[in-house]
Homo-oligomer: A and B are copies of this chain.
Amino acid sequence: MGELGTNRSSIRVGVIGGGQLARMMVPPATHLGLGISVLAEVEGSSAARAADAVGDYRDPETVYAFADTVDVVTFDHEHVPQEILLELERRGKAVHPRPGALQFAQDKILMRQKLEELGVPVPSWAAVADEVELKAFIDAHGGRAVVKTARGGYDGKGVRLVSDASEVRDWFTALAEDARGGHLLAEELVDFTRELSQLVARRPSGETRTWPVVETIQRDGVCAVVLAPAPVADPATLDEAARIGAVVAEGVGVTGVLAVEMFEARDGRVLVNELAMRPHNSGHFSIEGSVTSQFEQHLRAVADLPLGDTSMTAPAAVMVNVLGGPVEGPMPVRYAAALAAHPRAKFHSYDKTPRPGRKVGHVTVTGEDLETVRAAAQAAADEFN
């Protein structure tokens, strides 16, 4: 028991990582009748319902043993080492996204190089090996730089705005001690008016589907609000964002869902900020807001099944993250009040222990008018603060 589709002739998708992204793949897998198994890091993970294995995704034998139980391997995060993924492919296992694509989401310097090669606009950047090189970049870019670790960052972690190279001395020291060596990524500080995200799904065969471009609003480096579709300031900007999404998806050969996070700069440029090759926070609205959600589409794409329609189910959908969460426990401890006050809101709890700033869930509201819907979603999410 505890498995879906055991002994039956369905495709089984294996997800490495037991966070909320794996968790939110369980509903569409259940509806479609696809098998899903999760390799979680710990007991009692967010995706515990589907966690058929617990272990370290950096341990090759753990990953190989898990992969043997499924038909295709995909991910809740980008942290599985390339060596392991390449070996899985050598053994004939389907891995989506493929390691050759995933590397661009794993290493921000490789990503910048690839995006330039594709002719996609990015902030001015350099790979810097030491404080001397970083100081030169800072001096050439108005006395400031955004510095990022090439690997391992997320949700604002591994990102610092600096005006002096010594402010990231600890990172250079860590790189010097790392046998793999490496560089930090230095970028211009972009003066942007807002952030946009383009979600694209792509099958191994090359079929792609895109959702409408959305606006994302960050708080302390963490996605707080997503407006779908992005309000139209200049239609050319949204067209450019959609064009960039398509170029990147094809150019890196992603399979599964790709999120391209972009800045809309004050000078009119649309610049790529980050790539994620998995369902992404900017697409959570699609569970209720789209005919096919990003989670269902990711499963279809990695299983090499035809993709679904990505039209909106309503003119507007707004998602608001619950950050931190109720001090008393997971979101359901507040449901008596929250559900009564917000009967149209769709509540999502990740079953995670609250901690300041931690994403413990989200709320989505759909409707006719974006501002009305946004106010309703924010009010519903505020029930958990």
Chain A residues with CB under 8 Å of chain B are 1-11, 23-24, 26-28, 30-34, 40, 43-44, 48-52, 54, 287, 291-292, 300, 305-309, 311, 313-314, 328-333, 335-336, 339-340, 343-344, 346-351, 353, 361, 366
Complex contacts, A11 vs chain B, CB 8 Å: 332
The answer to whether A1 touches B54 (Cβ under 8 A) is yes
Q: Nearest chain B CB to A321's CB is how many angstroms away?
A: 15
The answer to whether B2 touches A344 (Cβ under 8 A) is no
How far does the alpha carbon of A306 sit from the alpha carbon of B305 in the complex, in Å?
38
How far does the alpha carbon of A344 sit from the alpha carbon of B296 in the complex, in Å?
13
How far does the alpha carbon of A92 sit from the alpha carbon of B336 in the complex, in Å?
22
Contact of A9 among B40, B43, B52, B329 (CB under 8 A): B329
The answer to whether A306 touches B343 (Cβ under 8 A) is yes
How far does the alpha carbon of A26 sit from the alpha carbon of B306 in the complex, in Å?
25
Complex contacts, A6 vs chain B, CB 8 Å: 43-44, 48
Contact of A31 among B33, B308, B347 (CB under 8 A): B347
8 A-B pairs with CB atoms under 8 Å apart are: A1-B2, A4-B351, A9-B333, A32-B347, A291-B343, A306-B335, A306-B340, A306-B343
How far does the alpha carbon of A292 sit from the alpha carbon of B344 in the complex, in Å?
8
A50, A287, A340, A343 interface centre (most CB from chain B within 10 Å): A343
Q: Nearest chain B CB to A228's CB is how many angstroms away?
A: 15
The answer to whether A305 touches B336 (Cβ under 8 A) is yes
Q: Nearest chain B CB to A341's CB is how many angstroms away?
A: 8
Closest chain B residue, CB of each to CB of A23: B30
Complex contacts, A4 vs chain B, CB 8 Å: 48-49, 351
Q: Nearest chain B CB to A31's CB is how many angstroms away?
A: 5
Contact of A351 among B2, B5, B26 (CB under 8 A): B5
The answer to whether A344 touches B291 (Cβ under 8 A) is yes
How far does the alpha carbon of A313 sit from the alpha carbon of B40 in the complex, in Å?
35
Q: Nearest chain B CB to A330's CB is how many angstroms away?
A: 6
The answer to whether B306 touches A49 (Cβ under 8 A) is no
How far does the alpha carbon of A309 sit from the alpha carbon of B345 in the complex, in Å?
9
Known interface pairs A49-B2, A50-B49; A343-B313 also in contact (CB < 8 Å): no
